[in-house]
Amino acid sequence: MPLSKRIQSALLFAHLILYTIRHHLTILRRALTASLAHFFTGTPKHPVDPSEVQNVVVVGAAFAGYFAARILATTLPRDGRWRVVVVEPNSHFNFTWVLPRFCVLEGHEHKAFIPYVPEFFGDKVPVGMVQWVRDRVVRVGRESVVLRGGAEVKYKYLIVATGSTVRNGLPSRPGGEGREEGMELMRGLQLRIKNAQSIVVAGGGAAGVELASDAKFVFPEKRVTLVHSRQAVMHRFGPGLQTGAMEALQKLGVDVVLGEKVVSEGAEGEGFVTLSSGRTIECDCFINCTGQKPASGLVADVAPGAFAPSGHIRVKPTMQIADDSLPNVYVCGEVAETDATNPNSRIAARQAEVAADNVVRAARGQTPCYKYKNRFGDGAIKLTLGLDRSMVHFWDGKAEMVWHGDETDPAMMCDEAWTNIQAEPFVDTGVFRGQLADPRDLGAGGKAVEEMV
C-alpha cells in the first residue's frame, strides 16, 4: 500500500477511536446531567394536577423514535409534569437489518420482530411516565396530533420519527403492522424464492446485494440476476466496497446487470422482466429492493415549506423542523434531511439523541443547543455477501477502510439486537406490556402520571 494511503488509513483509524470516545462522553454527560437534575428536583410528594401534565409525543418507535423515547423517559424532569407518549402502529420493533436474509432463509422470521418492552426504559422511570399508544398518527397540527382511531393527543413537544416507507414492503420493510402478518409475508417470499428457477432482484444497494447473494448462496442451482441502475453496486459508498461487493457477487455466480432498470415485470405467467434497454430476462420471481421513500406526509399541512425536493423534512442542526413558527417540533431519523449521505440506524439514533436532549433542555427552560453533524463513523456499514462472509466499510469521502470477515451465524447475531433493547432473545412477549394507553387519558384532565398503570 502506498505511504499516502497508509497515512490516510491511520488517520481514519484515529478518527474512529475519537468517534467512539465522543459517543461514550455524550452518554456520560447525559447521565450526569440527568442525575444531578433528578437529585435537586426530587420527586413530587403529591400527584400533580392532571391539567398540568404535558405530553412529549414521539411518532414512530424504531431506531430514531424508540431511542428518543428512552432518553426522554430517563432525563425529562421528574416533577410529575411530563409524560412521554409513544405512538407506533407496529406490534413489534421491526429489525430491518435481517429482513433480506430472513426472506431467503427459512425458520428465522420471528427473530426480526423484537417485542417492545417496558424494561427498555429502565426501572427508575416513574409509573405512567411512558404511555404507549398502538395507533398511527394521521395528521400533525400546531399543538396536537390526530390518530387513525380518531383521538386527538395534545403535545407540548413533538418528535416525528416516521422513517421510510416502501410500497412493496419486503425485503425493506415487513409490509404489515403485526408480527404474525409480517412473518406470513416473509414465509410467502421464502416460498416464491424456493420455487423459482430464475430470480431477478432490482436495486444494487445493501438490501439488493444482500438478498441476491443470500439467494445464490442458499440455492446455487438457481439463476439469480441483480439489476442496478448505476455503474457500480453500492454506488453511494467508497470504491473498495463497490469492488469487493461486485467481486463477491460474481464469485457466487450472481449475474449483475449495471446501468439498467427493471421497467416492467411482465404479465403473470409470462416469466420475464423487461429492462430499460428493452432487453428481457427470464424471471419467475421478481424482488424489488428499490423505492424507499421518506414517510413525511404527516407534516404536509402544518409545515409545507419544510419539505425538501427529496420528500424528506428539512431540519435545523438542533433537529427542530426548519420552520421558525414550530420551535417545539423535532424531526429525526430517516425522514429528516441532514448532511448524512448514507442513512442508517446509527445515524437515526444519533439524531434522536440530539432531538431528545434538546427537548429535555427546553422542558427545563433552557435553549436547545445540541446539534447533529454527520461524522464519518456514522456511515460505517457491514454488508453480508452470502451466508459465510461480510465486509465492514468506513469511508470519509476520501480514504476508506475495508475489512473482510467470515460469518458463522446465519441469524446475523440478531440476538444482540434483542439484548441491546432489553428483550430476551427470542421470546415474544406480545404487544408492549407496559402502560398501553387509552388516548382519552392523555389530554389535559386525563389521569395523573403517578396514577396510571
Ligand X SMILES: Cc1cc2nc3c(=O)[nH]c(=O)nc-3n(C[C@H](O)[C@H](O)[C@H](O)COP(=O)(O)OP(=O)(O)OC[C@H]3O[C@@H](n4cnc5c(N)ncnc54)[C@H](O)[C@@H]3O)c2cc1C
Range list of β-strands (E), 303-420: 313-314, 329-331, 336-337, 381-384, 389-395, 400-406
CA 349/CA 372 separation, integer angstroms:
11
Q: Among 15, 110, 136, 156, which residue interacts with ligand X (rule: CB under 6 A)?
A: 136
Give the count of beta carbons closer than 10 Å to the beta carbon of residue 409: 10
Do 390 and 217 meet the contact criterion of CB atoms below 8 Å apart? no
The verdict on 225 binding ligand X (CB under 6 A) reads no
Please report, in angstroms and rounded to a whole number, the separation of the first and last CA atoms in the chain.
62
Q: Verify cis geometry, omega within 30 degrees of 0, for the bond prior to 171.
A: yes
Size of the site for ligand X (CB under 6 A): 35
Q: Which is nearer to ligand X, 57 or 129 (CB)?
A: 57
The verdict on 89 binding ligand X (CB under 6 A) reads yes
The verdict on 242 binding ligand X (CB under 6 A) reads no
Q: Among 34, 56, 62, 299, which residue interacts with ligand X (rule: CB under 6 A)?
A: 62
Q: Which is nearer to ligand X, 171 or 434 (CB)?
A: 171
CA 352/CA 338 separation, integer angstroms:
13
Q: Which is nearer to ligand X, 38 or 293 (CB)?
A: 293
CA 348/CA 353 separation, integer angstroms:
9
Could you tell me how many helices (H) and strands (E) the chain has, helices first? 8, 24
Q: Among 12, 56, 61, 326, which residue interacts with ligand X (rule: CB under 6 A)?
A: 61
CA 432/CA 92 separation, integer angstroms:
8
Residue sitting closest to ligand X (CB) = 163
The verdict on 348 binding ligand X (CB under 6 A) reads yes
The verdict on 59 binding ligand X (CB under 6 A) reads yes
Q: Which is nearer to ligand X, 62 or 252 (CB)?
A: 62
The verdict on 100 binding ligand X (CB under 6 A) reads yes
Q: Which is nearer to ligand X, 287 or 448 (CB)?
A: 287
Which residues within the stretch 145-184 sit at the binding site for ligand X (CB under 6 A)?
161-164, 171-172
Do 428 and 93 meet the contact criterion of CB atoms below 8 Å apart? no
Q: How near is the Cβ of 404 to ligand X at its closest, in Å?
A: 17
Q: Specify the amino acid at residue 175.
A: G
Residue 3 has, within 13 A of its CA and on its CB side, a CA count of 0
The verdict on 139 binding ligand X (CB under 6 A) reads no
The verdict on 104 binding ligand X (CB under 6 A) reads no
Q: Among 30, 34, 56, 63, which residue interacts with ligand X (rule: CB under 6 A)?
A: 63
The verdict on 296 binding ligand X (CB under 6 A) reads no
Give, for 202, the enclosing helix (H) or strand (E): strand 198-202
Q: Among 345, 358, 390, 435, which residue interacts with ligand X (rule: CB under 6 A)?
A: 345
The verdict on 208 binding ligand X (CB under 6 A) reads no
The verdict on 368 binding ligand X (CB under 6 A) reads no
The verdict on 64 binding ligand X (CB under 6 A) reads yes
CA 202/CA 275 separation, integer angstroms:
10
Residue 55 has, within 13 A of its CA and on its CB side, a CA count of 28
Nearest Cα neighbor of 316 from 336, 293, 296 is 336
DSSP letter assigned to residue 319: S
DSSP line for 244-306: HHHHHHHHHT-EEEES--EEE--STTT-EEEETTS-EEE-SEEEE---EEE--GGGTTT-GGG
Alpha-helical runs (H) found in 116-238 = 179-195, 206-218
Give the count of beta carbons closer than 10 Å to the beta carbon of residue 428: 14
Q: Which is nearer to ligand X, 87 or 421 (CB)?
A: 87
Sole window of 214-222, 248-256, 342-350, 437-445 interacting with ligand X (rule: CB under 6 A): 342-350
- Spell out, one character per residue from 424 to 443, where the chain touches ligand X: x when CB under 6 A holds, - when not: --------------------
Q: How near is the Cβ of 344 to ligand X at its closest, in Å?
A: 3
Sole window of 32-40, 92-100, 232-240, 442-450 interacting with ligand X (rule: CB under 6 A): 92-100
Q: How near is the Cβ of 336 to ligand X at its closest, in Å?
A: 8
Q: Which is nearer to ligand X, 75 or 90 (CB)?
A: 90
Q: Which is nearer to ligand X, 66 or 448 (CB)?
A: 66
The verdict on 334 binding ligand X (CB under 6 A) reads yes
Q: Which is nearer to ligand X, 71 or 448 (CB)?
A: 71
Q: Which is nearer to ligand X, 47 or 89 (CB)?
A: 89
* β-pair type (255-258, 223-228): parallel
**Residue ranges binding ligand X (CB under 6 A):** 59-65, 87-90, 96-97, 99-100, 136-137, 161-164, 171-172, 206-207, 295, 298, 333-334, 343-346, 348, 382
